[in-house]
Chain A
Amino acid sequence: MNNIWILAEQDAGQIKSVSYELLTRGRKLAEKSGRKLCAMVFGHNIFEDGLNGLIARGAERVVAVEAPELAHFLVEPYAACTLELINKYRPEIILAAAGTTGRTLMPYVAMTANTGLTADCTELDIEDGTGLLLQTRPAIGGNIMATIKCPERRPQMSTVRPKSTPQSPRQEGRTGEIIRLQAPAEVNKTRVFYDGFEPGTEEMNLQDAERIVVVGRGIKKAENIKLARELADLLGAALGASREVVDRGWLSYPHQIGLSGKTVTPKLYIGLGVSGAIQHLAGMQTSERIIAINKDPEAQIFHVADFGIVGDLFDVLPVLIEKLKKGEKIC
C-alpha cells in the first residue's frame, strides 16, 4: 500500500522505452522514501517479456490491465483503469511520461481523484522530514524553474519530461510480482473512438528526435540547406530551423523551433549559423547538449552552448561531413 507507481506505456503489446526512464525516477524515490516501486500498464495482449522487463529494470510489482478497448490510448477507458487502481492500491505517488498520453490522462484522472498534478517535471525528489514529493519544472519557456508540492491530497501526481533521465538498465536476477487484472466494466463506456494512425514525416517528428541539426540565416540560401541535411543524415538527426529561415521559405513552418514554433529537448542540438535570439532559445535551451557553429564569437547562442566553433560554417561543414563519412567516431 501507499507505494510509488509509474504508468508504463505500451504500443502493440510492446513496452515503450519511455517507461524505463520513469523506472529510473521511481527507483530513486522508492529508495529514498522506503517504499516499493510498482508499474501499471494498460493494453491488449501485452507481451509477458515486456512485463518481466519492467521487473528486471526496477519495478517490484507490475499490474497489467487488459481489454480490447485498451489497445490504443483513449482517455475514458484509461482513466477508468487508473482510477480503479488508485482505489485499490492507494498509491502515494504516480509518475507518467509527459508525452501526449500522460499529459491527457493524468489531468483527467487528477481532476476526478481530487488531487494535484504537476506538469512536465525535470527533477523529482523526496523532501527530508516530510517525505513529500518535490516536483521541479520549467515554466515561462524555461525562463524560470518552480518547485511544487502536493501536501495534503493523494496521490501526488507528476508527468515527467521524456528524455530528461536515462533508462533504467536491466538487472538480471531481480524478482517481482506480475498481476494481470480484468478491466473494469467502464472501459467500454468511451465516447471517443480510435480510427487509425499515420506515421509522420521528419519535421512532424522533430519533437521526438534525439538529435537535431538546426539551420539559421547563416546558411545564406535555400540551396545550402542540402549541406545541413547531409550532416543531419550522417548523424541520424532531424532538421530544424530558426524563424528567419522559415520566413524566407528555405524550410517549411513545421521545422521552426522557438517561441512561435516547436519546443524541443533533444539529446543533441547543433546550430548552424543560428544567432540564438531569445525567442529561439525559448524553444531549445533545455536541450541536453548544445553545439553551435557561428562566425560571430559574440553570438548569443554561445551563452547556452556546451561546445562552440567560431568560424565560417561553409569551411567547417565540409570537413565535418568528410570525417563523418569516413566513419570517424560516429556514435
Chain B
Amino acid sequence: MRIAVCIKQVPETKSVKMDPETRTVIRQGVQSIINPLDLYAVEAALELKERYGAQVTAVSMGPPQAVSALKEAVAMGIDEAVLVSDRAFAGSDTWATSHILAGALKKLGAFDLILCGERATDGDTGQVGPETAAALDLPVITYVNHIHELRDGILKVSRLVEGGTEKLSMRLPGVLTVVKEIGEPRLPTFRGKLKAKGLEIPTFTLETLQLDKNRIGLKGSPTRVVKIFQPEIVRSCEMLPAETEEQTVKAVDSMLAFLEDKAV
C-alpha cells in the first residue's frame, strides 16, 4: 500500500503577536513548526504501516525551509518526503494550494490513501483536505477519529460529528482528514533522526508539475484577503468582590441577574 501524508509548516501560534500600532502580525522571530494537527495524520499513517505494511510519503508545499517539517516527519518514521516549492506558488489560497498539492500527488503516482490534518493552525480553514480530494476526484472522509480495519480495499473508520460518531466505509483510493483522538503522535526516534539528516528531499517546482499559471499562486486564487485586523476586545468585565458572606450573596444575585438579562 502507498500512503501520502500532507503536512504544512506553520508559525508557532503561541508566539503570534500583533503590533498594536500597525495592527499587523509580527513575523519576526516567530518560530516555524510542523502544524501540530498534522502530527496526528503522520501517526495514523505510521500505525497503518505497522498494521498492513505501507510505503509512506510526506508532502509539503511551502518555502524551502519547510524541509525541516518534512525531516521531522521522516524522523518519526515516514519513508520519503517531497517538498513542493516555487515562488510562483506564493500567495495561494486553499483552492490554489489544493490544486498544486493534487498536482504533486499525481506526479508521485497512484496512492491508496492520502492523509491530512483536520486543519492548519495558521489558516484554520480545514479546506485543503476535501479540496485536494475533489481535485483528484477521490472520495473523502473528514474528522476521522478511529481507523477500524482495512479489508479487500475497503477502509472502515469512525468520524466525530455533532452529537456522536458516525461509522463509514470507503473504497480506496481515498482521502482522510484526522482529528486528535486518532492517537497520540509518537516521538522521533534516534534512527529516524539519523535517516532524516542524511535524506535528500527532492523539490517539485512549477517546472516539474507543469501546472497552468492561471490556477496557482495569488493570481490563481479565487479569494482575496482585503483586511486583517485585531478583534476589538469589546468585553468590559463587571467585577464584583465576594470576600464577605454578604458580598458573596450579592455577587451571586448579580450573576443570576446577568444570566437572566442576557438570556444565556
Q: A residues bordering B, Cβ < 8 Å? A: 72, 74-76, 79, 99-101, 103-112, 114-120, 134, 137-153, 190-200, 204-205, 207-208, 211, 254, 259-260, 267-268, 278-279, 282, 288-292, 297, 302-312, 315-316, 319-320, 323-324, 328-329, 331
Contact of A331 with B260 at beta-carbon distance under 8 Å, contacts A194-B168, A199-B163 already known: yes
Contact of A111 with B226 at beta-carbon distance under 8 Å, contacts A100-B142, A308-B237, A316-B248 already known: no
Q: Which residue of B lies closest to A254 (CB)?
A: B181
Residues of B near A142 (CB, < 8 A) are 231
- Taking a contact as CB atoms under 8 Å apart, the answer to whether B235 and A153 are in contact is no
CA distance A324 to B124 in the complex (A): 38
Within 8 A of A (CB), among B224-264: 224-231, 233, 235-243, 245, 247-249, 251-260, 262-264
Q: B residues bordering A, Cβ < 8 Å? A: 13-14, 16, 18, 25, 36, 93-95, 98-99, 121-135, 138-143, 156, 159-171, 174, 181, 221-231, 233, 235-243, 245, 247-249, 251-260, 262-264
Residues of B near A308 (CB, < 8 A) are 237-240
CA distance A205 to B165 in the complex (A): 10
- Taking a contact as CB atoms under 8 Å apart, the answer to whether A104 and B142 are in contact is yes
Q: Which residue of A lies closest to B159 (CB)?
A: A100
Shortest CB-to-CB span from B69 to chain A, Å, is 18
Residues of A near B249 (CB, < 8 A) are 319
Residues of A near B262 (CB, < 8 A) are 289, 306
Residues of A near B248 (CB, < 8 A) are 311, 315-316, 319
Residues of B near A316 (CB, < 8 A) are 242, 248, 251-252
Residues of A near B94 (CB, < 8 A) are 107, 117, 119
Residue from the set B130, B134, B138, B222 with the largest chain A CB neighbour count within 10 Å: B222
- Taking a contact as CB atoms under 8 Å apart, the answer to whether B223 and A196 are in contact is no
- Taking a contact as CB atoms under 8 Å apart, the answer to whether B263 and A331 are in contact is yes
Q: Identify the 3 closest CB pairs spanning chains A and B, nearest first.
A: A311-B242, A116-B222, A111-B134
Shortest CB-to-CB span from B256 to chain A, Å, is 5
- Taking a contact as CB atoms under 8 Å apart, the answer to whether B264 and A140 are in contact is no
Residues of B near A105 (CB, < 8 A) are 130
- Taking a contact as CB atoms under 8 Å apart, the answer to whether A107 and B134 are in contact is yes
Contact of A76 with B139 at beta-carbon distance under 8 Å, contacts A192-B168, A291-B255, A320-B255 already known: yes
- Taking a contact as CB atoms under 8 Å apart, the answer to whether B258 and A204 are in contact is no
Q: Which of B122, B164, B171, B247 touches A199 (beta carbons < 8 Å)?
A: B164
User: Main SS of the interface on chain B?
Assistant: mixed
CA distance A149 to B25 in the complex (A): 20
Q: Which of A117, A260, A311, A319 touches B127 (beta carbons < 8 Å)?
A: A117
- Taking a contact as CB atoms under 8 Å apart, the answer to whether A192 and B141 are in contact is yes
- Taking a contact as CB atoms under 8 Å apart, the answer to whether A259 and B227 are in contact is no
CA distance A306 to B239 in the complex (A): 9
- Can you list 30 A-B contacts with CB-CB less than 8 angstroms, sorted by A residue number? A72-B166, A100-B142, A100-B162, A103-B126, A104-B143, A107-B134, A111-B131, A119-B94, A119-B126, A140-B13, A140-B25, A142-B231, A145-B229, A146-B228, A148-B225, A191-B171, A192-B170, A192-B174, A194-B167, A199-B163, A200-B163, A207-B162, A254-B181, A259-B14, A302-B237, A304-B235, A306-B258, A307-B254, A324-B256, A331-B264
Residues of A near B231 (CB, < 8 A) are 138, 142, 144-145
User: Main SS of the interface on chain A?
Assistant: mixed
Residues of B near A205 (CB, < 8 A) are 162-164
CA distance A323 to B254 in the complex (A): 12
CA distance A147 to B226 in the complex (A): 6
Residues of A near B131 (CB, < 8 A) are 107-108, 110-111
- Taking a contact as CB atoms under 8 Å apart, the answer to whether A116 and B259 are in contact is no
Shortest CB-to-CB span from B220 to chain A, Å, is 10
Contact of A146 with B256 at beta-carbon distance under 8 Å, contacts A139-B124, A268-B264, A315-B248 already known: no
Residues of B near A138 (CB, < 8 A) are 124, 231
- Taking a contact as CB atoms under 8 Å apart, the answer to whether B130 and A75 are in contact is yes
Residue from the set A75, A101, A141, A150 with the largest chain B CB neighbour count within 10 Å: A75
Residue from the set B139, B140, B223, B257 with the largest chain A CB neighbour count within 10 Å: B223
Residues of B near A260 (CB, < 8 A) are 36
Residue from the set B93, B99, B171, B242 with the largest chain A CB neighbour count within 10 Å: B242
CA distance A149 to B162 in the complex (A): 29
CA distance A150 to B94 in the complex (A): 13
CA distance A197 to B165 in the complex (A): 6
Residues of B near A141 (CB, < 8 A) are 13, 16, 121, 124
CA distance A149 to B221 in the complex (A): 11
- Taking a contact as CB atoms under 8 Å apart, the answer to whether A191 and B170 are in contact is yes
Shortest CB-to-CB span from A130 to chain B, Å, is 11
Shortest CB-to-CB span from B188 to chain A, Å, is 19
- Taking a contact as CB atoms under 8 Å apart, the answer to whether B226 and A149 are in contact is yes
CA distance A42 to B257 in the complex (A): 42
CA distance A195 to B154 in the complex (A): 13
Shortest CB-to-CB span from A206 to chain B, Å, is 11
Q: Which residue of B lies closest to A135 (CB)?
A: B223
CA distance A106 to B128 in the complex (A): 11
Residues of B near A114 (CB, < 8 A) are 95, 222
Contact of A310 with B18 at beta-carbon distance under 8 Å, contacts A139-B123, A140-B124, A146-B228 already known: no
Residues of B near A149 (CB, < 8 A) are 223-224, 226
Shortest CB-to-CB span from B124 to chain A, Å, is 5
Residues of A near B160 (CB, < 8 A) are 100, 200, 204
